[in-house]
Amino acid sequence: MVYKTYYDSPVGKLFIASDGENIIGLCIEGQKYYLDKIEKEGILKNDLSIFNKTKKWLDRYFKQEKPEISELSLMPEGNAFRQCVWEFLCEIPYGETITYGDLAKKVAEKLKKPSMSAQAVGNAVGHNPISIIIPCHRVVGKNGSLTGYAGGIDKKIKLLEIENVNIKNFFVPKI
């Protein structure tokens, strides 16, 4: 059984999904790879304990109180490679960023491979089903490009600003 709720945030309306005990999805309304099927099939249940805990976590996050990811029970669905990438995303400290290339090096090391494609890692980052909490917005291009955020570059900028990241060091790529 999948349950759903919504949360109004400074970056827009958030859709949150749970299996009853864990968060399995969180996305910003209109984001690429939106969890349409889960939203359509999910049962609205605003009073689930995990939803209350997640909403309080989000309240604290948006108030810049730096809540720990480990406070929430997360169960993102994905293959072993994506799970590996998402685990590394959870290690990026609040208010800090990492490049896709540096993230790819960490993943390659863990998987005992000589190298790893930054594009493959970027694809896994982009398919993160639990946005904001699993902080895919903290990954940037090696040249300072604020590229590749499924929720939209404007949302990525807002989230980094909430975390007091100096975005003057970054730029939005021209399309």
31 lies in a domain? Answer: yes
| Adjacent-strand bridge partners of 99 | 140
The domain of 124 spans 80-169
Please report where in the chains the tokens 């300072």 appear, as a residue. Answer: 144
Which are the catalytic amino acids?
Answer: 136
Whole-number pLDDT of residue 38: 80
* Segment 25-79, tens digit of pLDDT: 999 988 776 667 787 788 999 999 999 999 999 999 999 999 999 999 999 999 9
Question: What is the residue-averaged pLDDT of the chain?
Answer: 93
Residues in the chain: 175
Alpha-carbon distance of 132 to 29, in angstroms, equals: 13
144 or 158: which leads in pLDDT: 158
CB count, 10 Å around CB of 79? 9
Say whether both 63 and 103 belong to one domain: no
Q: Is the pTM here over 0.95, yes or no?
A: no
Q: How far apart are CA 99 and CA 142, in angstroms?
A: 5
Tell me the pLDDT tens digit for each residue of 93-124: 999 999 999 999 999 999 999 999 999 999 99
148 DSSP 8-state letter: -
Would you state the torsion angle of the CA atoms of residues 6, 7, 11, 12, taken in this order, to the nearest 10 degrees? Answer: 50
pLDDT value at position 175?
64
Residue 18 and residue 1: Cα distance in Å, rounded? 9
The CATH number of residue 10's host domain is 3.30.160
Predicted local confidence at residue 169, as pLDDT: 85
Assess whether 53 and 120 both reside in one domain.
Answer: no
Domain end (from 46, 71, 96): 71
